[in-house]
Amino acid sequence: MSSGNILIIEDEKKIARLIQLELGHEGYETDVASTGIEGLEKFKSGRWNLVLLDVMLPELSGMEVLRRIRSSENQTPVILLTARDSLPDKVSGLDLGANDYITKPFEIEELLARIRACLRMNQFYTEKKEDESFMMGDLTVNEKTREVIRGSTHIELTPREFDLLVFLLHHKNQVLNREQIIERVWGFDYYGETNVVDVYIRYLRKKIDAPFPTSYIHTIRGVGYTMRE
């Protein structure tokens, strides 16, 4: 019985093969990519429980691969493999959404332990997400049913309005600029004016805020938007 599917994106063939063999012994199904572009393609075409991602990759850096994975709101756990033992690289990776990192050379037992910890934590949050709705004050949003309720009022949103609202709620109390919102809600490949964000924020405000005494969506002049009580 498989313990899970793990994608290894590592250009050093000996290291990749060693990891693959050890993970196979532990019951994991694996695949290997040796470049950033190949890794991203395999990630998009498969269903993965976890990704082991080298930072230094040809064609596309590990950091850029990670950024593109997270730009689509995909929360598959990612552990960075890096030969760099410097704080800025670790901080950058974690800020981009990495779940953990391990510095080369590493003991395989430590890597296996970190993999198990990431998988356990991801399972916990997945189960929690399935059980709970997002709430802010009297606003409730259910991602599974796409139901939006404020007080006792059911609010109808278009798919794009709903995705925008969920993204704002995922990052409540954070100030988000237009470029961040475009990448996450419209997608990395979107080409167009960023003022589309302002248009959709107005749509949301008419439905979420305008009919009610309290506003949740706030403009931060010269920066972007935030959602807070």
71-130 per-position pLDDT tens digit? 877 889 999 998 766 667 777 888 888 888 898 888 999 999 999 988 888 776 665 555
Q: Which DSSP string corresponds to 130-199?
A: HH--EEETTEEEETTTTEEEETTEE----HHHHHHHHHHHHTTTS-EEHHHHIIIII-TT--S-THHHHH
Terminal-to-terminal C-alpha distance of the chain: 47
| pLDDT attached to residue 2 | 62
Average pLDDT over residues 2-9: 88
Q: Where are the beta strands (DSSP E) in 67-130?
A: 78-82, 100-103
Domain boundary among 130, 162, 194: 130
Name the more confident of 148 and 124. Answer: 148
C-alpha distances in Å from residue 206, one per residue of 82, 153, 171, 209: 47, 14, 21, 6
pTM score: 0.58
| pLDDT attached to residue 63 | 93
What amino acid is encoded at 138 in this protein? Answer: D
Average pLDDT over residues 62-78: 89
For residue 94, the 8-state DSSP code is: H
CATH of residue 200: 1.10.10.10
Domain that holds residue 170: 134-227
Q: pLDDT tens digit string along 149-198?
A: 998 899 999 999 999 999 999 898 999 999 889 888 887 666 667 788 99
C-alpha closest to that of 159 among 195, 204, 193, 196: 204
Same domain, 141 and 83: no
Same domain, 126 and 138: no
The domain tally of the chain equals: 2
Same domain, 125 and 186: no
Residues forming beta bridges with residue 136, ordered by sequence position: 139
CA–CA distance, 74 with 37 (Å, rounded to integer): 17
Same domain, 187 and 214: yes
Domain boundary among 130, 159, 189: 130
Same domain, 81 and 35: yes
Same domain, 84 and 141: no
Same domain, 122 and 9: yes
Same domain, 34 and 96: yes
CATH of residue 115: 3.40.50.2300
Same domain, 185 and 151: yes
C-alpha 110, offset from chain centre: 24
Domain boundary among 102, 130, 158: 130
